[in-house]
Structure 1
Amino acid sequence: MGEKIAIQDTYGERFQYCWGCGPKNKEGMHLKSYPSDDGKNCICKIIPAKEFTGGVPANLFGGMIAMIFDCHGTASAAYFAHKNKGLELKKDTVIGRFITARLEIDFKKPTPMDEEISVISEVEEIGQRKVIVNMTMQAKGEVRAKAKIIAVAVKDNM
């Protein structure tokens, strides 16, 4: 298989400045989401910085968990819609951009700091403008949170 391409790196120029996942936001987190080899899932991995601790010491705060789901979910929606059109993700791809219409999160257990967190997404439904994606966040081999995002396609001139 060729070089892994982050979905966020294929966003159009004006959509590359998100604080969570924008590759051109100098102060941002620079989250990266990658399609699995079989294209059935998308994967994001992160080790949170210590400043993102929550109300329970040494655990990630819920707003950061929501941001990770938001950025990974919209990137996943873009990829699944792209793939559904029979297209491949390549270095020169300018993928369609999706934004969040709804995000539901079930917090299962505190999410530890200083540990790699993995978020895996899978598509539930693809419509003409809407994609529904389910996600699971894990750390230390345990499910920490689950989410469902409804993402909608935007026009480049939004």
Structure 2
Amino acid sequence: MTRIAFQDLYAEAYTHCYGCGRNNPHGYQLKSYWDIPSVQTIAHIRPEFHYTGGVPDHLYGGLIASLLDCHGTASAAAFKSHVLGIVFDGSENLVRCVTGSLNIQFIRPVPVNTELVLTGRLLKIEDRKIQVTLSLSANNIECAKAEMLAIQIKSP
């Protein structure tokens, strides 16, 4: 069975994001999926050396925040869409969310040119507000974690 990335299920108007937009050739092209359907999300990415930060051969904090942000809003969209009964087969668009707040804890430096794993878990949904907990790991070691409050965009 072929998995479809959450970001590939966004309406065309929402496909330009630098972090995860399928129609932004200059962006990261982050793709998020179900790891455990309706329970946990996952994304993988291998940032290249030009994303190095203040610590040699390690990512700068802005990229870490950006990855957690994009995976977080995709996760929130997936959790909310699941609750609404939206099917993840490409026949309908997922809801779209924006970041209300993102509280990040940087635990240890994140190496460049290493596969990073991002995960997301639902904390709660209240109407248009979706709270998600996030983790970013390298080599099976958690390097950053975050809590996000995502807000579902009102339908046009």
Match of 2:87 in 1: 88
Does residue 1:28 correspond to 2:27, yes or no? yes
Deviates more, 1:33-42 or 1:54-63: 33-42
Does residue 1:76 correspond to 2:51, yes or no? no
Shift of 1:40: 0.9
Does residue 1:18 correspond to 2:17, yes or no? yes
Please, which runs of 5 or more residues in structure 2 have no aligned partner?
none
Count of aligned pairs: 156
Query: Residue by residue, what CA displacement relative to the aligned partner does 1:89-125 show, whole Å, maximum 9, x if unpaired?
Result: 1122211100000000000010011110001100000
Match of 2:51 in 1: 52
Query: Residue by residue, what CA displacement relative to the aligned partner does 1:7-61 show, whole Å, maximum 9, x if unpaired?
Result: 0001111100001100001211110000124331110110002111010000011
Match of 1:125 in 2: 124
CA–CA distance in structure 2, aligned partners of residues 126 and 90 of structure 1 = 23
Match of 2:147 in 1: 148
CA–CA distance in structure 2, aligned partners of residues 55 and 134 of structure 1 = 26
User: Residue 119 of structure 1 aligns to a residue in which SS?
Assistant: strand
With normalisation by structure 2, the TM-score equals 0.96
User: Residue 152 of structure 1 aligns to a residue in which SS?
Assistant: strand
Segments of 4+ moved more than 2 angstroms? none
User: Residue 69 of structure 1 aligns to a residue in which SS?
Assistant: helix
User: Residue 36 of structure 1 aligns to a residue in which SS?
Assistant: strand
One-letter code aligned to 2:107: K
CA–CA distance in structure 2, aligned partners of residues 112 and 27 of structure 1 = 22
One-letter code aligned to 1:91: G
CA–CA distance in structure 1, aligned partners of residues 25 and 109 of structure 2 = 29
Shift of 1:140: 1.0
Please, which runs of 5 or more residues in structure 1 have no aligned partner?
none
User: Residue 20 of structure 1 aligns to a residue in which SS?
Assistant: coil
CA–CA distance in structure 2, aligned partners of residues 108 and 37 of structure 1 = 25
CA–CA distance in structure 2, aligned partners of residues 71 and 151 of structure 1 = 11
Identity of aligned residues (%): 37
User: Residue 51 of structure 1 aligns to a residue in which SS?
Assistant: helix
Match of 2:96 in 1: 97
CA RMSD of aligned residues (A): 1.0
CA–CA distance in structure 2, aligned partners of residues 25 and 78 of structure 1 = 19
One-letter code aligned to 1:87: I
Does residue 1:7 correspond to 2:6, yes or no? yes
